[in-house]
Amino acid sequence: MKNNNIFKYIFIIFIILLIIGTIYILYTQNISGQEIKEDENSVSQNSIKILDTLTMGISNYDTMNPILTNNKEIINIDKIIFEPLFNITSDYKLEQCLATSCEKKDDLTYEIKLDTSIKWQDGSSLIAKDVAFTIDRLKERNTAYFANVKDIQTVETPDADTVRIILSKPVLYFEYNLTFPILPSMYYINEDFASTNKIPIGTGMYKIASIDDATILLTRNDKWRHIKDKTPKAESITIKKYGTMGEIYNSFKLGNIDIINTLSTNFSEHIGTMGYNKKEYKGREYDFISINMEDIILSDKAVRQALNMAIDKSILVSNVFSNSYYVSNSPLDYGTYLYSSEGELQADKEKAKTTLEQAGWIFKNNRWQKTIDGHVRRLTLSLVVSKDVELRVNVANEIKRQLGEIGITLNIVEVTTERYYQYLEEKDYQMILTGITNSINPDLSYFYGDGNISNYNNPDVKSKLNSLDNYKEIQKIVNDDVPYIGLYRNKGTLLLNANVGGNFIPNSFNLYYNFNEWFRQQ
């Protein structure tokens, strides 16, 4: 019996040692496996063949000259060839580029200092006369950057690194207008700028090596001042010319193009939904309802707030645009660091009805009514929309449906384009469905300054418009006042074949942030 117990204890000890040994072996194998896996990943990463070129496509080619082109995609591509005095970051902050400073001397005068150590792609130095030359060329024609310079009266160049700009009238945040590409003055001496065959040169990370009927070749600019610490992975970029966007989609689908930018909402119909990556960004086209603040009913803030809460913008964007647009509550909601959502009213139909009731509106006989100045006013409103813009008509009908769910009657006034602009100019409406293309300049005077389209008059807001430091407070105030109801903005999409890697943070000013890190692998 005693021997049996000894054997039993020996067996138990053996089992315990076996378990401990097994655990140790598994642990060491796991550690070894992790090291092998890391080594394999390292080998795998090191064995990836990075190709020395990227391929893009453009349709309707006109010119690579950033001042003369009317092609939006060339304007985008030109960002990696030419540079401005000041750049815009991915969150829309202003940063130095060719300029080292911009001092506001008075409301009309700005003095800019240049970094004259910067070299053009032909080896010559950047000088103040280059800036004056560029501004003069921009003012000669209706270019993509004409709005940036239209209020410049004169440009002085007292020395090689100083540019003095005198405006014809004050421009809020004028520094944001200094984001147009600069071209070299000496390069175009004895040339007709508008018709010369010379390939334009810039100061950016790539230069134009050649242009022919089928392709444009860009190569790395070895004179780029950041070339040592930000050397582009792609030695060259081939830009293929196509007749139509449809041809570009087909070529992308076949793997012959690496990168496409599109504002189209139906690109997947052309290229499918698989086999590529995409990076979406907020566009500049912003639609909203302008409310006439002088209207006897709409001057009641509770009504404006109820309208805003009664409209579910997510449902609107889903029903009308199949979610191909972004919900947008503010003219600043396009990716800028200045945007604040503090105080924004959320969609809430019950709260909308409560807000009306607390303001003295009574829901009677299936309609809201209130006695104002001795008269019974019913909550029946009109919304002007251009009948020539089908999508906006669809939006208006969706808004009418949603407001009807809480008992607000909306009459849609469909008018011709000409009559629509008369309504806007004369401000002869209760509400109007309209929109703007956001400028890079963050000035909000259009919405809240003198003569704004909703007749909004808040002295506190007006006094705050001249400082970006006040912008978060401005948004908090107007979110409560509701002179406008923001609806949606368009969506841009950067389409990238699966073999393209990098750090992608596009916005509507520049698609190619960190482009030096982009690469194509085999």
Cα–Cα dist 416/420, whole Å? 6
Is 2 a member of any domain?
Answer: no
CATH number at residue 296: 3.10.105.10
Residues 446 and 518 in one domain: no
- The answer to whether 471 and 338 have CB atoms below 8 angstroms apart is yes
Residues 437 and 310 in one domain: yes
Is 14 a member of any domain?
Answer: no
Query: What does pLDDT average to over the chain?
Result: 92
Is 343 a member of any domain?
Answer: yes
| Closest to 286 measured CA to CA, from 69, 442, 470 | 442
Cα–Cα dist 146/136, whole Å? 10
- From 140, 171, 193, the end of a domain falls on 193
What Cα–Cα distance (Å) separates residue 101 from each residue in 125, 171, 175, 415? 18, 18, 10, 49
Residues 215 and 335 in one domain: no
State the DSSP string of 52-100.
Answer: SEEEEEEES---S-TTT---HHHHHHGGGT--BSEEE-TT--EEESSEE
- 16 band by pLDDT with thresholds 50, 70 and 90: low
Residues 346 and 411 in one domain: yes
Instruction: Give mean pLDDT, residues 27-40.
Output: 36
Residue 214: the pLDDT is 97
- 365 band by pLDDT with thresholds 50, 70 and 90: confident
Is 19 a member of any domain?
Answer: no
Cα–Cα dist 430/460, whole Å? 24
Looking at 45-59, 105-119, 154-168, which range is the least confident one? 45-59
* 487, containing H or E segment: strand 484-497
Cα–Cα dist 175/232, whole Å? 29
Cβ-in-10-Å burial (0-12, 13-18, 19+) of 17 comes to: exposed
- The answer to whether 134 and 183 have CB atoms below 8 angstroms apart is yes
pLDDT 10s digits, 304-328: 999 999 999 999 999 999 999 999 9
Residue 491: the pLDDT is 97
User: What is the 3-state composition of the chain as percent helix, strand, coil, each rounded to the nearest 5?
Assistant: 35, 25, 40
Neighbours of 23 (CB within 10 A): 10
- From 193, 221, 253, the end of a domain falls on 193
Instruction: Give mean pLDDT, residues 93-99.
Output: 98
Is 28 a member of any domain?
Answer: no
Residues 271 and 339 in one domain: no
Percent of the chain with pLDDT over 90: 88
Residues 73 and 159 in one domain: no
**The two three-digit tokens of residue 12, written as one number:** 């138990």
CATH number at residue 181: 3.90.76.10
503 contact partners, CB below 8 Å, separation of at least 6: 513, 514, 517, 518
Number of independent structural domains in the chain: 3
Please report which residue ranges of 349-389 form alpha helices under DSSP H.
349-358
Cα–Cα dist 342/21, whole Å? 61
- The answer to whether 461 and 467 have CB atoms below 8 angstroms apart is no
- The answer to whether 140 and 192 have CB atoms below 8 angstroms apart is no
- From 142, 167, 193, the end of a domain falls on 193
- The answer to whether 480 and 456 have CB atoms below 8 angstroms apart is no
Residues 487 and 383 in one domain: yes
Give the domain range for residue 230: 51-81+204-275+498-522
- 14 band by pLDDT with thresholds 50, 70 and 90: low
Question: Does residue 47 carry a pLDDT above 80?
Answer: no
Residues 126 and 88 in one domain: yes
User: What region, left, alpha or beta, does residue 335 occupy, with left being phi > 0 and alpha being psi -120 to 50 degrees?
Assistant: left
Is 103 a member of any domain?
Answer: yes
Residues 356 and 456 in one domain: yes
User: What region, left, alpha or beta, does residue 502 occupy, with left being phi > 0 and alpha being psi -120 to 50 degrees?
Assistant: left
Instruction: Give mean pLDDT, residues 53-79.
Output: 96
321 contact partners, CB below 8 Å, separation of at least 6: 265, 391, 488
pLDDT 10s digits, 266-285: 999 999 999 999 999 999 99
Residues 270 and 385 in one domain: no
Sign of torsion over alpha carbons 407, 457, 440, 150: positive
Residues 156 and 300 in one domain: no
* 268, containing H or E segment: helix 268-271
Residue 324: the pLDDT is 95
Is 9 a member of any domain?
Answer: no
Residues 479 and 507 in one domain: no
pLDDT 10s digits, 153-194: 999 999 999 999 999 999 999 999 999 999 999 999 999 999
Is 33 a member of any domain?
Answer: no
pLDDT 10s digits, 206-226: 999 999 999 999 999 999 999
CATH number at residue 235: 3.40.190.10
